Structure 1
Amino acid sequence: MPVTRRNRKSEEEKPPNSTIDLDKIKELIKLMEDHELTAFELEDAGFKVRLEKGGSQEQVLAPIAAPEPAAGATSEKIVAEDTEQIKSPMVGTFYKSPTPDADAFVKVGDAVDEGTVVCIIEAMKVMNQIKAEKSGVIQRILVDDASPVEFGQGLFVIA
Structure 2
Amino acid sequence: MADDTSVQVDDASSEDTSEDYSDLTRAVRELVDVMHSGNLERLEVTRGDLHILLRAHSVTPAPATNDQPVVAAQPVPATVEPEPVDQPWHQITSPMVGTYYEAPSPGEPPYVQPGDTVAVGQTVAIIEAMKIMNEIIADRPGVIEAVLVENGEAVEFGHPLFRMKPA
Same fold (TM over 0.5): yes
Amino acid at match of 1:148: A
1:31-70 matches, within 5 Å, as 46=64, 48=66, 52=71
Q: 1:148 maps to what in 2?
A: 154
Report the Cα distance in structure 1 between the residues aligned to 2:152 and 2:70, rounded to whole angstroms.
25
Q: 1:86 aligns with which of 92, 101, 109?
A: 92
Aligned length in residues: 105
Higher strand share: 2
1:1-150 matches, within 5 Å, as 1=27, 2-3=30-31, 4-6=34-36, 7=39, 8=56, 10=58, 13-15=60-62, 46=64, 48=66, 52=71, 81-150=87-156
1:52 CA drift (Å): 3.5
Amino acid at match of 2:132: V
1:14 CA drift (Å): 3.0
Which contiguous aligned blocks of 4+ residues in structure 1 show a shift greater than 3 angstroms? Answer: 46-55
Give unpaired runs (5+ residues) of structure 2: 1-26, 40-55, 75-85
Task: Report sequence identity in percent.
Answer: 39
Alpha-carbon distance change, 13 to 144 in structure 1, aligned in 2, over 3 angstroms: same
Bigger radius of gyration, 1 or 2? 2
Q: Which structure carries more relative contact order (alpha carbon 8 Å, separation 6+)?
A: 1
Q: 1:22 maps to what in 2?
A: none
Report the Cα distance in structure 2 between the residues aligned to 1:54 and 1:9, rounded to whole angstroms.
45
- Kindly provide the CA deviation profile for residues 105-154 of structure 1, in whole angstroms up to 9, marking residues without a partner as x: 00001000000000111111111111001110001110011111001100
Asked if the contact 2:73/2:132 (under 8 Å) is kept, the reply is: no
Asked if the contact 2:72/2:134 (under 8 Å) is kept, the reply is: no
> TM (normalized to structure 2)?
0.55
1:13 CA drift (Å): 0.4
> TM (normalized to structure 1)?
0.57
Amino acid at match of 2:148: L
Report the Cα distance in structure 2 between the residues aligned to 1:150 and 1:54, rounded to whole angstroms.
18
Report the Cα distance in structure 2 between the residues aligned to 1:97 and 1:158, rounded to whole angstroms.
18
